[in-house]
Amino acid sequence: MSARERILTGDTPTGNLHIGHWVGSVKRRVELQDQHECFFLIANLHAYTTRADTPQDIHRDCIEVARDALAMGVDPAKAAIFLQSETPALAELTYLFAMLLPFNRVMRNPTLKDELQVKGLADNYSFGFPLYTVGQTADILAFRAHRVPVGEDQVPHLELTREVARRFNKMYCGVPDKAPDEEHEQLGGVFPIPIADVGEVGRLVGTDGVNKMSKSLGNAIHLTDTPKQVKKKIGKIYTGQDSRDPNDPGIIDPEKNPLFQYLDVFVECEDTKRDVRDRYERGDNIGDGEVKMLVADAINALLDPMRERRAAFEDDAVVLDILKQGTARANEATEQTLQMAKEVAGTGFFPRSVRFED
Ligand code: TRP
């Protein structure tokens, strides 16, 4: 990875961040911010896919998500945290990119289908719901980002993004049909073809032991949870059924037990991990209770410094000021891309800039 690569990633503000966000991407962001130009998006428009009727909650969640990212160690001196809704180039590129994608292609996205199913939306989703995936291609391409650190579930969105970039470059920039992805920019394409950089643990299972950890499913451990709440949530994990192989319920597989993913991810001592795993596989009288205690302690040890840092960002005005500065930087970057794109796509007439009032 070259030193000056630009990195873009983001979250839909669903409220407070949880440890699934930490292992899935925030941890990686904190590592990346030292060496790269980083932009961290708060995708508040995407929140309207399911919550358009509670705008004030979304507004508040933007501040919460920023506060939690800062608490987890994102440094505003190094990385820009910014708001999607105050970065107009993103919406404008979404409109343009939506024209480059067959409708059926958008609907084939497995993550999109999954969300519609998990959220029980069947035929009742808004027009904007599938549109958010196109919006995500704009979020990424507007920064001409080369690399997008995300969880595994976001990979289909990255695939869509790559398709949009290829199509745009071919249609409007004369990049030849068979051009290799890495050569698009050299060949005159506005957009690099970005790659998904999937973190070590792409998908942390929730405390229900079934679904991805997610606030809306009520199976998450939040940064704002007290040590006691963490213990309680870990204690409640139901492990019995999930340890069984669905094809052969007689076989108990420790890999199917969500506790073992937590053990792997949060417990640092390799010897402890090996020991616990060995004893469990041998059926050596190690109860889930003992593993749970280990895991809860490890999670609390991770959260403690974050809880402390969070206190420094308690004031909304402090967080809003950081967001405003970050969003100003995001606008600088995306307005430049937008202008390049509009020029070749025939929609550019009057150069402009975005400026916030003091
Ligand atoms: N869809 C992402 C999520 O589920 C949020 C997101 C929006 C995003 N735009 C993005 C992530 C661009 C990475 C890059 O939270």
C-alpha 271 chain-centroid distance = 31
Q: Is 41 in the pocket of ligand 1 (CB under 6 A)?
A: yes
Q: Tell me, what's the pLDDT at 315?
A: 97
Task: Report the separation in Å between the CA atom of 275 and the middle of ligand 1, taken as the mean of its atom positions.
Answer: 38
Q: φ and ψ at 6, to 5 degrees?
A: -95, 135
**What is the 232 CA–ligand 1 centroid distance (Å)?**
30
- Equal fold, 6-204+315-345 vs 227-311: no
| pLDDT per residue rounded down to tens, the chain (358 residues) | 455 789 999 989 988 899 998 987 788 899 999 999 999 999 999 999 999 999 999 999 999 999 999 999 999 999 999 999 999 999 999 999 999 999 999 999 999 999 999 888 888 899 999 999 999 999 999 999 999 988 788 999 999 999 999 999 999 999 999 999 999 999 999 999 999 988 666 578 899 888 889 888 899 999 999 999 999 999 998 776 445 555 655 445 666 677 888 999 999 999 999 988 888 887 776 778 888 999 999 999 999 999 999 999 999 999 999 999 999 999 999 999 999 999 999 999 999 999 999 9
Beta strands in the chain (DSSP E): 6-11, 37-42, 79-83, 147-150, 195-198, 244-245, 248-252
Cα dihedral across residues 150, 156, 159, 163: positive or negative: negative
Of residues 146, 164, 202, the one with CA closest to residue 9: 146
Query: Could you identify the residue written with the tokens 């909650």?
Result: 57
137 CA from centroid of ligand 1 (Å): 9
Which run of H or E residues covers position 113? Answer: helix 110-118
217 CA distance to ligand 1 middle (Å) = 18
Distance 71 CA to ligand 1 centre (A): 20
- Domains of the chain: which residue ranges? 6-204+315-345, 227-311
Ligand 1 contact, 291 CB (< 6 A): no
The CATH classification of domain 227-311, taken from the options 3.40.1260.10, 1.10.240.10, 1.10.10.60, 3.40.50.720: 1.10.240.10
Is there an atom of ligand 1 within 6 Å of 140 CB?
A: yes
Is the CB of 237 inside a 6 Å radius of any atom of ligand 1? no
224 within ligand 1 shell (Cβ under 6 A): no
- Residue 9 beta carbon below 6 angstroms from any ligand 1 atom: yes
Using alpha carbons only, give the angle 70, 76, 80 rounded to the nearest 5 degrees. 105
pTM over 0.85: yes
pLDDT at 201: 63
Q: Is the CB of 49 under 6 A from ligand 1?
A: no
Phi, psi (deg, nearest 5) at residue 128? -70, -20
Q: Ligand 1: which residue has its CA nearest to atom 9?
A: 136
Q: Say yes or no: domain 6-204+315-345 is CATH 3.20.20.70.
A: no
Q: Is 42 exposed, middle or buried (0-12, 13-18, 19+ CB in 10 A)?
A: buried
Q: What is the pLDDT of residue 149?
A: 87
Phi, psi of 40 (to 5 degrees): -115, 115
Query: Does ligand 1 come within 6 angstroms of the Cβ of 43?
Result: yes
